[in-house]
Amino acid sequence: MVRMTCKLTSMLISTGMYNVTPNGKKPLVNNLGNINPGSIYVQKAIDSALAGFGYPFVAIAILFFSFTTILAYCYSAEINLGYVMGKAKQAWPKHALKFSILAVIFYGSTHSSELAWGLGDLGFGGMAWLNVFCIFSYLSKHLRY
């Protein structure tokens, strides 16, 4: 998988469809003109090799990436919530979790992509801290034996 990713990256770079601009400085390489960085670079690179295929390819790739990422985050969050809740069989925490995930997805999809990435970072960071809490609580239970 790593080899394929590196190969595809080198192929996209070889198309010349990119800019290199350090923060607050003049561009070192300006092949695309005044375009903001993002998925547009990949779209232009694929479009230069396969005309008309770049935009649909990137749209479908982002769709699958976002869908599988949301599934993985939801699964991990639900498992962590189940661990934190313990033997309590209350249904409202799972419903609150699902509602909050849907609300964040809707809010992120109707606003800028920077906000969506920021929300994703916050969610991932929250999940990481919840995992740290679970690991330490699990560790303390097993160190007693």
Q: Which two tokens stand for residue 56?
A: 């649909």
Query: pTM for the complete prediction?
Result: 0.64
Spans of all domains in the chain: 1-52, 73-145
Check residue 68 and give its pLDDT: 92
What residue ranges of the chain have pLDDT lower than 70?
Answer: 1, 144-145
Q: Which of 103, 116, 99, 92 is nearest to 39 (CA)?
A: 116
Report the pLDDT value the prediction gives residue 86, as an integer from 0 to 100: 80
Report the pLDDT value the prediction gives residue 99, as an integer from 0 to 100.
93
* pLDDT at site 145: 61
